[in-house]
Amino acid sequence: KGFSSVNFFLSLCRFQAFVYFASVFQAMSCGIHYLASVFMAVTPDFVCGIPGNVSSVLFYNSSESSLEDIWTLWTSTENYIVVRLENGEIWELNQCSRSKREMSLSLAYEYKGNKSIFSCSDGFLYDDTKWKSTVVTEWDLVCDREWLAKLIQPTFMLGVLIGAVIFGDVADRLGRQRVMWFTSAGQFIFGIAVAFTFDYYSFVIVRFLLAMVSSGYLVVAFVYVTEFVGIKARTWASMHVHAFFAVGVMIVALVGFLVRTWWIYQIFLSIATLPFILCCWMLPETPFWLLSEGRYEDAQKVINIMARWNKVSTPCKVSELCSVQQDDLVDGGMGDNDTSSTKKHNILDLFCNWQIARRTITVWLIWFTGSLGYYVFSLSSVSLGGNEYLNLFLIGAVELPCYIIACIGMDKLGRRNTLIPFLILSALICVLIMVIPQDFNILIILANMAGKFSIGVAFGLIYLYTAELYPTIVRSLAVGSGSMMCRVGSVVAPFCVYLRSVWIFMPLLLVGIMALLSGILTIMLPETLGKPLTNTLVEATEIGRNGKSCSEKTPPAHSDVALEKIEMFGQETVSNEK
């Protein structure tokens, strides 16, 4: 039977609904901070500062009394402005230099006489018709300091990369709830702090920390909501996190259109975090993580809270779910599976055997390809022109139907069977764009949007697929390391676009090759649709062997039985309410 978006919302009982929407609301803030620099670091038109008071301004054949009237005529960085000062001096103002005319009495645009060239020691004059202030105008990040402006987004993405790995690992060690509280509080604190930084270097450092906590929250939130919803709603629960992220992108466009001063713009964007800060302390730890750590009493408390919220009179007992005998707890003889659950895990566990190692390499490649293709197609769409605020809004909005299609495909066809065709379709679209004549602009635009749509399906799907492919003890680490490869792809993407100078289709060729390779390797991954989450590496290894789940081949661990029954318990509460 089909499971639509409406059914997803209806399937969430009171407790799960509160936990889910509280968690994914904060994902909007992640989308906001990821794209905030699009308008914050805008470089407007500019020229060298004027060494005195201006009496008249000349631009080509247009004579004005102030520079503000000239900006509407500015068309190229090769342009210059001629100004007459009150003391009679005539200066030519270029973007990165200025020159004084030696023997000129008349104000004319063309001048063939002697000039004395000077640096822009008096600062710069900026076009403030669109933006009253940006970080570029705040600290004069132009000319020989232009490279500092270009480092703003790469340093942010570096923080995203590091934060995904660090907080993914910390969440497996200390729990999901603590990390979500810390990272959400960090987003608000660092987000506000960015607006009050006093120079470029403090700005970059605080933004780097903001990137780390934003990435950390997003990674752990995916794992958190996955572990709190049942098998039936897991697909839509995961994909709607992406939808809230896309809403955050649209909010950036809206706030950018309304607020044109960078530090006020940053404060308004950061306020979106505040509602979650006020209630995030109420979120419980997931029973999955508590059981994997052997904290059965704490897991029972969470289940009892779920029962009260959902008005279930007879909540299930952890002791019954796990069939744990008291003498096993005292002796600590709970078997190899339990020993592995209390062991501290690291990234090497993602390569513990050949099956898991091959799975990890393939998953990492998909993460990298999805990010690379997503940003290459996005950067190509910038050339569409028009209103930049509307363009960004549409870039966020186009992701919403993409995730709906991905959800339907994952529920109808399965995770792997949806991922493979969309990866290969992305490769085919890259080839199609290469053969379309360059004067067919509308067709090229439609093909690029189709490419972004198809790679977006794969990009959104891989979060949930990764969480389902790995056991509880390393799930956050697996998603975090995958997100790290995703960020590597986002850092490589701009350099890939620069290869257009070598051959105009080189970026598309690289994305097409990577998408085709990823699609072929995905064939070897197991299907996870309708299967319970695993708890140990042994069970995760058995997924997909001979088309059977691990529970069909090997006796499940105590905690894994509990986890599966907790999912069933969550679904039963819904039917009891109905």
User: Could you write out the DSSP letters of every residue in 86-139?
Assistant: TTS-EEEE-SS-EEEESS--S--S---S-EEEE--TT-EEE--SS-SB-HHHHT
Distance CA 293, CA 559 (A): 9
How many Cα atoms sit within 13 Å of 7 on the Cβ side? 15
For residue 509, what are its two tokens? 């060729």
pLDDT per residue as tens, the chain (578 positions) = 444 444 444 345 677 777 788 888 888 888 888 888 888 888 888 888 877 777 777 777 666 656 666 777 776 666 778 887 877 778 888 888 888 887 766 777 777 777 888 888 888 888 888 888 999 999 989 888 888 888 888 888 888 888 877 887 788 788 888 888 888 889 999 999 999 998 999 999 999 999 999 988 888 887 888 777 766 676 677 777 878 888 888 898 899 889 989 999 999 999 877 877 777 777 788 777 787 777 777 777 877 777 766 666 666 666 655 554 344 444 444 444 444 444 566 777 788 787 888 888 999 999 999 989 887 877 666 566 567 787 778 777 888 888 888 888 887 888 888 999 999 999 999 999 888 887 787 787 778 778 888 888 888 788 778 888 888 778 778 877 887 788 788 888 777 876 876 888 888 999 999 999 999 999 988 888 877 777 777 877 777 564 444 434 444 444 444 545 555 454 444 343 33
124 with 138, same domain: the answer is no
31 with 170, same domain: the answer is yes
105 with 155, same domain: the answer is no
pTM, two decimals, is 0.76
Please report the pLDDT score of residue 147 as a whole number: 85
For residue 111, what are its two tokens? 């001048």
Distance CA 295, CA 557 (A): 15
For residue 558, what are its two tokens? 């105590």
Please report the pLDDT score of residue 194 as a whole number: 94
374 with 418, same domain: the answer is yes
Helices (H) and strands (E) in the chain, counts: 27, 8
* Assigned domain for 553 exists: no
Q: Please say which residue of 255, 283, 311 terminates a domain.
A: 283
Please report the pLDDT score of residue 179 as a whole number: 86
238 with 103, same domain: the answer is no
Q: Which residues contact 201 (CB under 8 A, 6 or more apart)?
A: none
Distance CA 222, CA 418 (A): 20
- Give the orientation angle of helix 399-412 with respect to helix 231-258, to 10 degrees: 170
362 with 507, same domain: the answer is yes
* Assigned domain for 305 exists: no
Domain containing 61 equals 46-129
Distance CA 491, CA 317 (A): 48
Report the 10 Å Cβ neighbour count for 390: 11
101 with 189, same domain: the answer is no
Distance CA 241, CA 259 (A): 27
Q: Which residues contact 175 (CB under 8 A, 6 or more apart)?
A: 285, 289, 290, 293
56 with 175, same domain: the answer is no
* Assigned domain for 237 exists: yes
Which residue from 434, 415, 438 is spatially nearest to 512, judged by alpha carbons?
Answer: 434
Please report the pLDDT score of residue 515 as a whole number: 93
* Assigned domain for 301 exists: no
Distance CA 535, CA 371 (A): 28
Distance CA 203, CA 102 (A): 42
Residue type, 119: S
Distance CA 486, CA 436 (A): 29
1 with 36, same domain: the answer is yes
Please report the pLDDT score of residue 560 as a whole number: 44
* Assigned domain for 565 exists: no
For residue 421, what are its two tokens? 């065709």
473 with 515, same domain: the answer is yes
Distance CA 150, CA 339 (A): 49
* Assigned domain for 406 exists: yes
Please report the pLDDT score of residue 281 as a whole number: 72
Q: How many residues does the chain have?
A: 578
Rg over CA atoms, the chain: 28
- Give the orientation angle of helix 475-498 with respect to helix 152-174, to 10 degrees: 170
Rounded to whole angstroms, what are the CA distances from 16 to 3, 21, 221, 256, 548?
17, 9, 14, 34, 30
Our measurement of the distance from residue 529's CA atom to the centroid of its chain's CA atoms, rounded to an integer in Å, reads 25
Q: What is the tally of structural domains in the chain?
A: 3
Which residue from 432, 492, 427, 480 is spatially nearest to 458, judged by alpha carbons?
Answer: 427
Q: With H, G, I as helix, E, B as strand and everything else as coil, classify residue 407.
A: helix
For residue 21, what are its two tokens? 């929407």
Q: Please say which residue of 242, 262, 283 terminates a domain.
A: 283
* Cβ–Cβ under 8 Å, residues 391 and 509: no
For residue 490, what are its two tokens? 């986002």
| Pairing mode of beta strands 90-93, 98-101 | antiparallel
